[in-house]
Amino acid sequence: MDLGTASTTPLTRPEPEDTPAGEARRAADIPPGDASAPPAEPVTLPEGKPPQRSLAKRMMVIAAVWIGLLLVGGGFALDRTLTRLVQNNFDNQLEYVLTALISSAEIDNNGEVWTYRSLGDQRFLEPYSGVYWQISGDGRETFPSRSLWDRTLTVDGSHRDNDPHFYDSYQFDGEPLRVVERNVELPDSDVVWTFTVASAREELDFQIARIRSILIWSFAALGLGLLIMAILQSYYGLSPLRRVRAAIQSMRSEGANRITEPLPLEVEPLVEEINGLLAHSEKQAEEARMHAGNLAHALKTPLTVLTNAATAHDPKLSDLVCRETKTMQRHVEHHLARARAVGRRASGHARADVWPSAESVLRAVTRIYENTRFDLDGNKLAAVSIERQDLDEILGNLIENAAKYGGGSVFVTIDAARDEELCTIWVEDDGTGIPESERARIFDRGARLDTGKPGTGLGLAIVRDVAEIYGGSVELDESEDLGGLLVRLSLPRAG
């Protein structure tokens, strides 16, 4: 009995209209000959795109910009704070002198103001010493300090300052002044007197300039130190990536197949992913070598038969060529189908609804096996992570085998609730089944238990290979309901 055979044309050729897979493909609106998904368009970078900066340079640029912003902002705030403190201290000294001047002022018998005691600072007695005071009133004679000599402080009498009023004055050429003035009404006088104290800004400006110089040099040194620290941090922090690059280079030059060098915890996940990718690539390469060897071995026997027949001038050479060529063609198509399934799986996001696929296959098989009764039951919403074309191919092989070798009844049951991760599809028939000792061998390519029916023994091999590519499995058992063969197909569920 040949349950390993299927007349359904594999995925890589356009199916004739009288085959189940061809009917299923038309029912699913898939054009004949379009066996594989459309090739993905190559991803190309836009022309003229500038090369990306290195990670170290990005980190250093970000650090330099951030350090610069912080230092400029902090330096400006600190400069304003210290400048204000120095100026407030200077203003407090002027206000102290102003208070002493007001407390020492009196009105004489003529109604003029005078001071009954001198201020303690001798600079008020030295001409042009840089510190000055002056008392003035509307319509009264101005009473200045000796340090003013022949000059007079300009007073704006358009407003009244009941509290000390500080401002800068540039009335003397080459000698900017810091001025404080206040309007006071003295006892026994109806005149509003303006008391003014001024001091040259030279000392104040020198202190401010000194503070700013210290700030500039200090912040420059701090910024340079922080920038050097950022450079060293970037260089040292990214050194594991350079070690990974060196390890990959050694893999290419020395033949190593894994990155085994101990690396920091932050880089370890990247190394694990690289090692996983290398393992996956090795597995794919090994599978490619294995299937290339299997294909070569499968083609060797037909080629030998043809060579011997041609050498011996066999009169049945033409029939032999047709038969052996068909065998070779089936082997080639099987391996191509498996290769295309691997490619479609690699594209990711595969999804197919099981019920519509099973219905389309059953419609196609029913036309060939009109005397067979087909029943479909189970979860109508089940979906699996597999391309629709591959699902049609798998179900086409299983259902046609069940119809070909069964006794006239085929049950297909879809169960998506048995397992949270897998969707199970049962295909049962009422035939004689397969002995348990032969169930493992039937999956081998070319294995046939019934040589009396046409086939090449590749049907179940294709089913097993394609299912395993998508992470599924195929198992054989005895049907409890029908008594024949039960094929249990498990495929990963789609999310």
What does the pLDDT profile of the chain (495 residues) look like in tens digits?
344 433 333 333 334 444 444 444 444 444 444 444 444 444 444 455 555 567 788 888 888 999 999 999 999 999 999 999 999 999 999 999 999 999 888 888 777 887 888 888 889 989 999 999 999 888 788 889 999 999 999 887 777 888 999 999 999 999 999 999 999 988 878 888 899 999 999 999 999 999 999 999 999 999 999 999 988 888 888 888 888 878 877 777 776 777 777 777 777 888 888 888 888 788 777 777 776 766 776 677 778 877 887 888 778 778 778 877 877 777 776 667 666 666 555 545 678 999 999 999 999 999 888 889 999 999 898 999 888 888 888 898 899 989 988 888 999 999 866 557 889 999 999 988 888 888 777 766 544 444 444 443 456 777 888 888 888 899 998 888 888 899 999 999 886
Instruction: State which amino acid sits at residue 183.
Output: N
CATH code linked to domain 20-32+315-492: 3.30.565.10
H or E element: which one contains 215? Answer: helix 202-237
H or E element: which one contains 131? Answer: strand 131-137
Please give the Cα distance from 250 to 258 (Å, whole number). 10
- CATH class as words, domain 61-207: alpha beta
Residue 184: name the closest of 120, 111, 106, 259 by CA: 106
H or E element: which one contains 249? Answer: helix 239-254
Provide the H-helix boundaries in 376-444.
Answer: 388-405
What is the DSSP code (8-state) at residue 493?
B
Residue 339: name the closest of 388, 276, 390, 396 by CA: 390
Contact at 8 Å (CB) between 428 and 479? yes
Contact at 8 Å (CB) between 357 and 343? no
Query: Is 114 in a helix, a strand, or coil?
Result: strand
Provide the H-helix boundaries in 104-201.
Answer: none
Contact at 8 Å (CB) between 152 and 142? yes
Task: Tell me the domain boundaries of the chain.
Answer: 20-32+315-492, 61-207
For the record, the structure tokens of 39 come out as 């090739």
